[in-house]
Structure 1
Amino acid sequence: MGSRLTKEEIQAALNERHSPEVQDMLSRGKVAIAGLGGLGSNVAYALTRIGVGHLHLVDFDRVDITNLNRQQYFMEDIGKYKTDALEALLRKINPYLDIQTDCVRVTEENAADLFQDADIVCEAFDNPEAKAMLVNEILEKFPEKKLVSATGMAGFGSSNTIVTRRMTKNFYLCGDRVSEPSYGKGLMAPRVAICAAHEANMITRLLLGEEEI
């Protein structure tokens, strides 16, 4: 039956769960996700499940075996570009969403072009330098654009230390801001997923006109 679901049937189910008014705002949302690893793949799954209508997936990397401990991929995805693998997986949830992919490394030179059309940019890189670069580029080039970023989620510390903070008018930061990967306390599925859920929930709130105090 799943393969025979129509766009109208999926939309009706989302409307029933979320209300037509809320779902309309989600369906019109345009979200770009930069980095499709432990954070980005989980964020993409959550936004796809609630029917965010337009997703832009950006990553240059391929899936490898070390990704399977926390990222939303499977053994058969190893070797595939993350953009291709994740798009295929998301279309199993809702094949009718508008999904755009760019298999490219984000740089200072291309960031403005890549993210100019998004309502909200989700920074989901693993690399601290890449995180800082993208945050700075978005804040400088698009000061009115909503930006949701994350830092501090390694190990297996308390879930309650991961929070969402409003840093500036349009910049939101999720995580505990301190825990970095170290021996025996690497990036692990539960805590990374908690932080990704914070990002996805903040994005959802922003699409619905909500803001963090």
Structure 2
Amino acid sequence: MDCRPVPSREEILAALEKKQGSVATAKLQAATVAICGLGGLGSNIAISLARSGIGKLILIDFDTVDITNLHRQQYKASQVGLPKAEALLANLKEVAPYVRYEVHNEKVTAENAVRLLEDADIVCEAFDRADAKAMLVDVVLERFPQKTLVAASGMAGFGSGNTIRTRKVTGRLYLCGDGKSDVDQDIGLTAPRVMLCAAHQALTVIRLILGKKDV
């Protein structure tokens, strides 16, 4: 067993300030972000935000880790069969132990979304299904006039990563992806393109927290 000491919270914050600046780090530390869906998009978004020093992450997913998830999602082979929310929490604590985490092992619905998301400053949509994506957009834009939603559409296949981009749809809705490719068209999901889209979402969240609302 590795018994090497974990750096202190103060040491990690000092390292973040050295790389990101004290002002940016303080703003990120004060923010709470909800991630709805912890698959290829959500698990990668969570890792990026945790490493960047987000103060609190709300992690929501009802699914379990499947062996087919391992090629693009932030899980280990030893975690197959575990609830995604709990498995991702364990992995996140290894890389960012001082982030505050709130875990919900349940499905986001129109009925429970307000309860699950009320404490978040920004919400990330990371679902697979189009109907779930539409539901979350409707709930956030209608029920939370003060919140911004960062969503995704189109990241399947082996196409150029340059087609994945971020668009500002409205003042409170940002959409990342190529807007075209879909697994329903018998196009598979590949790790690099999914991770590119997740990186767009994570970066958009960070820029919004820092007050940069352009794309």
**TM-score, with normalisation over the residues of structure 2?**
0.96
SS of equivalent residue, structure 1 residue 89: helix
| Aligned-pair CA distance for 1:183 | 6.7
Name the CA distance, whole Å, in 2 between partners of 1:182 and 1:116: 32
Paired position in structure 1 for 2:150: 148
Contact conserved, 1:165 with 1:212, CA < 8 A, in 2?
no
Which runs of no fewer than 5 residues in structure 2 stay unpaired? Answer: none
Contact conserved, 2:181 with 2:187, CA < 8 A, in 1?
no
| Aligned-pair CA distance for 1:54 | 0.5
Work out the percentage of aligned pairs sharing the same amino acid. 52
Paired position in structure 1 for 2:40: 38
Residues 40-71 of structure 1 deviation map (CA, whole Å, 9 limit, x = unaligned): 00000000111111000000000010101211
Report the CA distance shift for 1:162/1:170 in structure 2 as closer, same or farther (over 3 A).
same
Residues 128-154 of structure 1 deviation map (CA, whole Å, 9 limit, x = unaligned): 111111111111111221110000110
| Aligned-pair CA distance for 1:185 | 2.5
User: Which of residues 189, 197, 200 is equivalent to 2:199?
Assistant: 197
Residues 83-129 of structure 1 deviation map (CA, whole Å, 9 limit, x = unaligned): 10001100001211100000011111001111011000000011111
Matching of residues 92-171 of structure 1 within 5 Å: 92-171=94-173
Q: Which amino acid aligns with 2:14?
A: A
Name the CA distance, whole Å, in 2 between partners of 1:24 and 1:45: 19
Name the CA distance, whole Å, in 1 between partners of 2:186 and 2:113: 34
Which runs of no fewer than 5 residues in structure 1 stay unpaired? Answer: none
Q: Which amino acid aligns with 1:97?
A: V
Report the CA distance shift for 1:31/1:166 in structure 2 as closer, same or farther (over 3 A).
same
The Cα RMSD (Å) is 1.3
Q: Which amino acid aligns with 2:130?
A: P
Name the CA distance, whole Å, in 2 between partners of 1:5 and 1:208: 26
Name the CA distance, whole Å, in 2 between partners of 1:63 and 1:185: 21
Q: How many residues align?
A: 213
Q: Which amino acid aligns with 2:199?
A: A
Contact conserved, 2:122 with 2:149, CA < 8 A, in 1?
yes
